[in-house]
């Protein structure tokens, strides 16, 4: 009897030892108290912030994004568990004005190291139709209409803080400024790994500089400077590279354009020799297709990079921005 009993006991003992080893292995990598070689627990509000935290934090951070892939960030509502996870973070990186639910939760979380990316660069005010070049006069009436649309709970908070446009990450130069600020704040939050954060920041800024150069050279000589988009997210990008963004129906990518606006876009497309109506990966392409049919234009994808999904034209920020450049070159007739 005893012999028979020994086997399971030994097996159990072995399993317990294995279990303990596994547990201790987990606890060193998953615990996130910020000290003793543990990872810094970082919460990022949505993909552009997550990308910065992961690339700059590297192996020293455990990053959680509040916005799941495929979710429109502006529509995000937080679960009680997510709100709890914010207050348990060592460091929170967000962009004020994009996600009101996140802004409120962070305000109430009491986390010491919270960084608003909007404070790390300068925000500007972009009308939904005009960017880069001042073609605004003939569209002023529509501008008023579009701004009313912005103000009505589309999650962009364009009415606040002087109507600043929050889409700073679509300009590689501004995004690099934000990256530098994030690097410095991580060095302060976790001084033990400051050298690694500094090195990772420099590497990322170098990649963003290269991306900026690719855009500058790739969009220097084009047949037209005007592009039409269902989501007016590309104001900073347009301004940086001397282009004009024509938004179909203001900021809301799902909004139906008025017949008058469709006519206006038709006229602009003819006058400015625009060829393409861009839609985005996270929203419906219905508006773009209707407009393209009515105006004889092509459709294409210009990704505002608010999240990465299987449909994204690339695995990360840099790759999708390169795809956006190719799409713009094609639409604008780059020489």
What integer pLDDT is reported at residue 252 of this predicted model?
A: 56
What integer pLDDT is reported at residue 14 of this predicted model?
A: 45
Mean pLDDT of the chain: 81
pLDDT, tens digit, 9 for 90 and up, residues 288-324? 888 888 788 899 999 999 999 999 999 999 999 999 9
pLDDT, tens digit, 9 for 90 and up, residues 225-272? 999 998 889 999 999 999 999 988 655 555 677 888 888 888 999 999
pLDDT, tens digit, 9 for 90 and up, residues 90-149? 999 999 999 999 999 999 999 999 999 999 999 998 764 433 433 333 333 333 333 333
Cα dihedral 96→307→177→162 (10° resolution): -30
Assign 3-state DSSP to the chain and report helix, strand, coil percentages, each to 5: 55, 10, 35
What integer pLDDT is reported at residue 288 of this predicted model?
A: 84
- Vertex 150: Cα angle to 172 and 75 (nearest 5): 75
pLDDT, tens digit, 9 for 90 and up, residues 192-223? 999 999 999 999 999 999 999 999 999 999 99
What integer pLDDT is reported at residue 127 of this predicted model?
A: 60
The DSSP output letter for 307 is -
What integer pLDDT is reported at residue 186 of this predicted model?
A: 98
User: How far is Cα 335 from Cα 326, in angstroms, rounded to an integer?
Assistant: 12
120 neighbors 180 (Cβ within 8 angstroms):
yes
Q: What is the pTM of this model?
A: 0.79
Instruction: Tell me phi and psi for residue 81, to 5 degrees.
Output: -65, -40
pLDDT, tens digit, 9 for 90 and up, residues 34-70? 443 589 999 999 999 999 999 999 999 999 999 999 8
| 108-to-63, 80, 103, 326 alpha-carbon distances in Å | 20, 13, 9, 42
């Amino acid at each position: 009897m005893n012999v028979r009993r020994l086997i399971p006991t030994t097996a159990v003992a072995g399993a317990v030892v294995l279990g303990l080893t596994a547990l201790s292995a987990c606890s060193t990598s998953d615990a996130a108290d910020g000290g003793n070689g543990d990872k810094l627990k970082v919460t990022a509000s949505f993909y552009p912030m997550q990308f910065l935290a992961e690339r700059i934090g590297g192996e020293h951070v455990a990053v959680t994004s509040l916005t799941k892939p495929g979710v429109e960030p502006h529509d995000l509502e937080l679960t009680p568990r997510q709100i709890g996870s914010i207050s348990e973070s060592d460091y929170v990186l967000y962009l004020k004005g994009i996600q009101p639910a996140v802004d409120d939760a962070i305000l109430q979380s009491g986390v010491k190291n919270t960084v608003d990316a909007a404070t790390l660069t300068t925000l500007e005010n972009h009308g939904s139709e005009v960017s880069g070049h001042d073609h605004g006069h003939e569209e002023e009436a529509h501008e008023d209409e579009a701004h009313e649309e912005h103000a009505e709970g589309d999650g962009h908070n364009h009415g606040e803080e002087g109507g600043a446009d929050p889409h700073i990450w679509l300009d590689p130069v501004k995004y690099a400024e934000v990256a530098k600020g994030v690097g410095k704040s991580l060095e302060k939050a976790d001084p033990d790994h400051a050298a690694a954060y500094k090195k990772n920041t420099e590497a990322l800024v170098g990649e963003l500089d290269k991306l900026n150069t690719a855009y500058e050279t790739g969009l220097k000589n084009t047949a037209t400077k005007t592009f039409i988009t269902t989501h007016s997210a590309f104001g900073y990008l347009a301004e940086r590279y001397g282009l004009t963004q024509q938004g179909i129906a203001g900021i809301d990518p799902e909004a139906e354009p008025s017949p008058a606006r469709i006519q206006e876009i038709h006229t602009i497309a003819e006058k400015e020799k625009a060829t393409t109506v861009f839609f985005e990966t996270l929203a419906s392409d219905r508006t773009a297709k209707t407009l393209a049919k009515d105006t004889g234009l092509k459709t294409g994808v210009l990704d505002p990079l608010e999240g990465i999904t299987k449909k994204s034209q690339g695995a990360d920020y840099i790759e999708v921005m390169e795809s956006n450049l190719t799409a713009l070159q094609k639409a604008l007739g780059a020489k």
